[in-house]
Amino acid sequence: MILALGCVLGSGLVLVLAPFLWPAGSPKRAGVGERMRVRLVQGGLRSVPVPAFLALSVIVGVASAALVHGVFAVLALSAVAGLAGLLVPWLIVSWRAAARRRANRTVWPDVVDHLVSALRSGLALPDSVSSLAQTGPVATRIAFAQFEREYRATGNFSYCVDELKRSLADPVADRILETLRMAREVGGSDLTVVLRSLAAWLRQDSAVRLEVEARQSWVVNAARLGVAAPWIILILLASRPEAAIAYNSPAGVVVIASGLALSVIAYRVMIALGRLPEERRWFS
């Protein structure tokens, strides 16, 4: 009897927790490789394969570790240099992706304006999107030219929109293209009104973000200076033979490892305090 009651209680707990543990229709999270592929696209490196990028990161890391070890002969410092070199390509790609996203915030309202003009001139929706390959902003013309070629080859608007979303890899572009897809599938006479409202909102959001980022830039600069200063001093100290011997001891390794951990934690905290929330790609 006790065993039966225990089974019933356990089954009840599983049923209560099931919606939280296994939500129905929960989207599958993208893997590490897919996230790296998206970040490379956002950084303007669409033609670079992920394995080649990883191989380049390993080569840079090994070269950095070898160079630092040849100059200072400090094992812990060489390991830190190898880890930094391993992350440098990823940091460069992330910086390029962030710069492109900031630049595109001022581009998307113009894209919407050109699209509205094409629609009001009487062009069909696919032709209006294709016309952005010639009339749209320079930064987006390559992606829309690819859309034009694929639509001429397949005639499938939905498939071409999905490919265009992968090429642009931007949450604002996802929202615009999903609006166009809905208008294509269900129709609607208020598409131009919706697009004009979206363009006005995008301009307002871009202006607010630029102002806030300008005021919070000192937080990012302080974080970078605070992280770089101790390591510059460490490099200067490690250039002396007696300091190199001390840093090669177990206590020296602990000091360098602790400094690395504290630097990473402090930098991430400072960046988190000065970072604005980025819009996620809900329609990717």
CA 231 to chain centre: 27
Residue 185 has pLDDT above 70, yes or no: yes
Q: What is the average per-residue pLDDT within 159-164? A: 90
Number of CB atoms found within 10 A of residue 174's CB: 20
d(CA 107, CA 175): 14
Res. 28 pLDDT band, cuts 50 70 90: very low
What's the pLDDT score for residue 245?
Answer: 87
What's the pLDDT score for residue 66?
Answer: 92
d(CA 212, CA 278): 13
d(CA 12, CA 18): 10
Q: What is the pLDDT of residues 126-142, one digit of tens each?
A: 898 999 988 888 888 88
Residue 23 has pLDDT above 60, yes or no: no
User: How is residue 247 written in tokens?
Assistant: 């840093």
d(CA 172, CA 11): 45
Q: Which of 130, 123, 175 is nearest to 150 (CA)?
A: 130
d(CA 27, CA 43): 25
Q: What is the average per-residue pLDDT within 1-23? A: 61
What's the pLDDT score for residue 274?
Answer: 67
What's the pLDDT score for residue 20?
Answer: 57
Residue 63 has pLDDT above 90, yes or no: yes
Residue 228 has pLDDT above 80, yes or no: yes
Q: Provide the mean pLDDT of the chain.
A: 82
Number of CB atoms found within 10 A of residue 58's CB: 14
Res. 19 pLDDT band, cuts 50 70 90: low
Residue 38 has pLDDT above 90, yes or no: no
d(CA 157, CA 163): 10
CA 227 to chain centre: 23
Which 8-state DSSP code applies to residue 136? Answer: S
